[in-house]
Amino acid sequence: MRFYPTFFKVFFSGMEPEKAHHVGFSMVRLAEKTGASAVLRRMTAPDQSLERTVMGLTFPSPFGLAAGFDKEGHGTTALCDLGFGHIEVGTVTAIAQPGNSQPRLFRLVEDKALINRMGFNNPGAAAVAPRIRESLTHLSRRFGRTRPILGINIGKSKVVELEDAVSDYRTSAATLAPLADYMVVNVSSPNTPGLRLLQSVESLRPILEAVRDESEAKAQRRVPLLVKIAPDLADEDIAEVAALAIELKLDGIIATNTTISREGLSTSSDAVESMGAGGLSGAPLKDRSMQVLQQLRALLPDSIAIISVGGVTDAEDVIDRLNAGADLVQAYTAFLYEGPFWAWRINAGLKKAQRAGRLARS
């Protein structure tokens, strides 16, 4: 199962990163079309003992794929065959947009990290919605009661001014919430101008209230609502977001998004500088992401879930996050370096830890 690092070095390392992503994702989808992923599904299915109920939803495993990998919602069923307990689709915006100009994705192989300034490239909420609807039908048929959970992550359209952000998020919620197992408000990407300004509680409160009200009205049910925050927030700002989550009775917080920091990297400073602006993800976020998790868990009641993401590479990282108070754990960047059996290896490690009494239960 560890052939992939060699495969990556030979096949993908010399390929432009965004192209490599598309090629790799196409291979995952091709496995589904040819029927090969049916075999993978039987091999990689999480052990039933890993199931946990979070936000009223049953997750087959506490480990899932973070937003950013499937921005368009056209590969969720194929990805679920790899053993993820949930897939977070997006970030999706109300208005279709191409994202920033290329190149906009860069590898830091020595650091097992990425820098991206993708800019929420996606076909828009109206185009993503029917794909999610079809995916839910297929997943229910394949997995039955314990199908992987599908979350939908929404962001602000670039052409929309900050003062009109509330109505923009409301539009996305109206279109996508009826299809979402849970909804995430993303105000923490560094790649949409001004977006992170929306993390202030004064700006964030009306957005969350609008998304919650619109989601429940259109879905005619309670749709769990979370907010995704940046690792670059000061501790006092994190505390304010936690207080807002308690005030609004949010279902959870996702911590954290990518960072604008470039500290502690093994990649040369000249190489990093040549890559330009963007959010850094991967192993270098490990310590800060854990710090934010620990701070939030100390501030939040157990009724508010924390999904920990950032610097998660292997089963030990997931175990550490769960034992530190995370209800669920996500990752994305390591998927590109570890390959299609990554989720399977993590689930196997979680099962082993659980049997040894090393894994906390939610």
Is 68 annotated to bind a ligand? Reply is yes
245 is an annotated ligand-binding site residue: no
Half-sphere exposure of 88 (CA within 13 A, CB side): 26
- 90: annotated binding-site residue? no
How does DSSP assign 117-167, residue by residue? -----B--HHHHHHHHHHHHHHHHHHHGGGPPEEEEEE---TTS-GGGHHH
Q: Is 349 flagged in the annotation as binding?
A: no
Q: Are 226 and 182 in contact (CB under 8 A)?
A: yes
Quickly list DSSP for 313-330. Answer: -SHHHHHHHHHTT-SEEE
Decide if 189 is catalytic.
yes
3-state secondary structure (DSSP) of residue 92:
strand
The residue type of 250 is L
Is 15 marked within a binding site? no
* Residue 276 marked as a ligand binder: no
Give the residue among 274, 351, 241 at the shortest CA–CA distance from 107: 274
Q: Is 83 annotated as a binding residue?
A: no
Residue 264, annotated as binding a ligand = no
Residue 258 assigned ligand-binding role:
yes
Largest CA distance in the chain: 53
186 is in an annotated binding site: yes
Residue pair 86/67 in contact by the 8 Å Cβ criterion: no
Catalytic residue among 135, 189, 281, 289: 189
H/E element, 186: strand 182-186
Q: Has 333 been labeled as part of a binding site? A: yes
Comparing CA positions, the residue from 185, 275, 291, 192 lying closest to residue 232 is: 291
Residue 91 in tokens: 């970030």
- Whether 116 has a binding-site annotation, put simply, is yes
Residue 302 labelled as part of a binding site: no
Among 134, 124, 19, residue whose Cα is nearest residue 74: 134
**Does 351 belong to an annotated binding site?**
no
Q: Is 228 marked within a binding site?
A: yes
Q: Which residues are annotated as a binding site for substrate?
A: 71, 116-120, 186, 191, 257-258
Active site residues: 189
Q: Which residues are annotated as a binding site?
A: 67-71, 91, 116-120, 153, 186, 191, 228, 256-258, 282, 311, 332-333
Q: Which residues are annotated as a binding site for FMN?
A: 67-71, 91, 153, 186, 228, 256, 282, 311, 332-333
